C-alpha cells in the first residue's frame, strides 16, 4: 500500500466528516480524532477534557437542537487502552472491555447511525502500547436493511506511519460512506507539528474540533492537544 501525505489527503477532501488516525512516531503511540460539520447543529460543538479522555459539548447551548448523535465521549481510557470513536459506541466498547470482552464483541452489537439518508458509518479504534485496531460499521451501499462490519488489526506498527479512517468518502447529498481499507499515512514531527499539520489541512468552513495525543511508551509521558474552531 502506498503511503500518503496526510496534509494532501485532507486538503483534497472538503468533507471527510469525522476521522481517526492511529499510528507510531519513534517512541510515541499517536492518536488523532477530528470532527467536521455542515449544519449549524454539527458546527456548534467543542471538545473538552473529561478525565483521561474527552467529550463533545455544545458551544452555545441555546442553539443546540438534537444532541443524540453529536454529544458523546469520543475518547476514553481503560487500563492503559485508549478507545476513540465517532459516537456513543465509545461507551459500548468501554463497558465490554471492562467485562473482559473484546473490541470486536462490542461492535458486533452496534451498527451505523440512523441518520437517513446518510446512514453515517460508525468508526472506532483502540490502542494498547503501539498496537492498534480500527473498525467501520456501514450500511450496505446505503441500504439500511443490511450492515457491514469491518475490522483491521495492526501489530508492531512501523515508526513514522499510521492509518487513517474517516466516515465519508467526500462531500455529497447523500454523503457517500468511506470505502476500502484505512489509508496508510505518514506521521512526522512532534505533537505540535502533527496537530498543526492536521488542523491547517482541514477545510476551513467545515472543521470543528481536533484532538491529538502522543503517548511515550518508554516513559509513560502523555501529551494532549485540543483545538476548537469555536472559542
Residue that has been written with the C-alpha cell 503501539 in this structure: 130
**For 25-35, what is each residue's pLDDT tens digit?**
999 999 999 99
Q: Reduced to 3 states, what is the DSSP secondary structure of residue 187? A: coil
Ramachandran region of residue 196, left (φ > 0), alpha (ψ -120 to 50) or beta? alpha
Residue 53 has pLDDT above 90, yes or no: yes
Q: Kindly tell me the sign of the dihedral angle through the C-alpha atoms of 194, 197, 203, 206.
A: positive
Gap between the Cα atoms of 154 and 40, Å rounded? 37
**For 30-50, what is each residue's pLDDT tens digit?**
999 999 999 999 999 999 999
Which residues contact residue 183 at a Cβ distance below 8 angstroms, ignoring those fewer than 6 apart? Answer: 4, 9, 163, 164, 165
Compute CA distances 186 → 74, 117, 194, 197, whole Å.
Answer: 23, 33, 10, 11
Higher pLDDT, 158 or 68: 158
Confidence of residue 69 (pLDDT cuts 50, 70, 90): confident
Pairing of strands 81-85, 75-78: antiparallel
Query: DSSP class of residue 160?
Result: T
Which residues contact residue 207 at a Cβ distance below 8 angstroms, ignoring those fewer than 6 apart? Answer: 34, 36, 199, 229
What is the predicted pLDDT for the residue at 18?
98
What's the rounded mean pLDDT across residues 218-230? 98
Among residues 184, 193, 179, the alpha carbon closest in space to that of 161 is found at 184
What's the rounded mean pLDDT across residues 209-226? 98
Share above pLDDT 90 across residues of the chain, in percent, rounded to a whole number: 96
Q: Maximum CA pair distance of the chain?
A: 48
Q: Residue 189 is placed in which grid cell?
A: 514531527
**For 2-18, what is each residue's pLDDT tens digit?**
999 999 999 999 999 99
What is the predicted pLDDT for the residue at 23?
98
Residue 118 has pLDDT above 90, yes or no: yes
Residue 1 has pLDDT above 90, yes or no: no
What is the predicted pLDDT for the residue at 208?
98
Gap between the Cα atoms of 98 and 140, Å rounded? 31
Residue 111 has pLDDT above 90, yes or no: yes
What is the predicted pLDDT for the residue at 68?
86
For the chain, the average pLDDT equals 97
Amino acid at each position: 500500500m502506498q503511503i500518503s501525505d496526510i496534509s494532501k489527503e485532507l486538503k483534497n477532501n472538503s468533507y471527510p466528516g469525522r476521522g481517526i488516525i492511529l499510528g507510531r512516531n519513534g517512541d510515541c503511540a499517536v492518536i488523532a480524532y477530528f470532527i467536521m460539520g455542515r449544519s449549524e447543529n454539527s458546527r456548534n460543538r467543542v471538545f473538552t477534557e473529561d478525565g483521561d479522555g474527552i467529550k463533545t459539548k455544545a458551544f452555545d447551548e441555546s442553539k443546540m437542537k438534537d444532541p443524540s448523535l453529536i454529544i458523546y465521549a469520543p475518547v476514553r481510557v481503560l487500563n492503559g487502552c485508549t478507545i476513540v470513536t465517532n459516537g456513543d459506541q465509545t461507551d459500548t466498547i468501554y463497558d465490554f472491555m471492562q467485562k473482559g470482552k473484546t473490541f470486536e464483541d462490542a461492535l458486533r452489537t452496534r451498527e451505523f447511525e440512523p441518520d437517513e439518508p446518510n446512514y453515517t458509518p460508525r468508526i472506532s479504534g483502540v490502542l494498547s502500547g503501539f498496537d492498534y485496531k480500527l473498525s467501520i460499521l456501514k450500511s450496505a451501499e446505503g441500504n439500511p436493511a443490511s450492515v457491514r462490519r469491518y475490522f483491521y488489526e495492526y501489530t508492531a506498527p512501523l515508526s513514522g506511519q499510521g492509518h487513517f479512517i474517516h466516515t465519508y468518502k467526500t462531500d455529497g447529498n447523500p454523503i457517500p460512506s468511506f470505502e476500502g481499507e484505512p489509508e496508510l499515512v505518514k506521521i512526522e514531527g512532534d505533537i505540535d507539528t502533527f496537530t498543526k499539520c492536521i488542523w491547517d489541512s482541514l477545510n476551513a468552513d467545515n472543521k470543528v474540533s481536533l484532538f491529538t495525543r502522543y503517548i511515550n511508551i518508554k516513559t509513560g509521558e502523555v501529551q494532549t492537544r485540543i483545538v476548537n474552531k469555536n472559542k
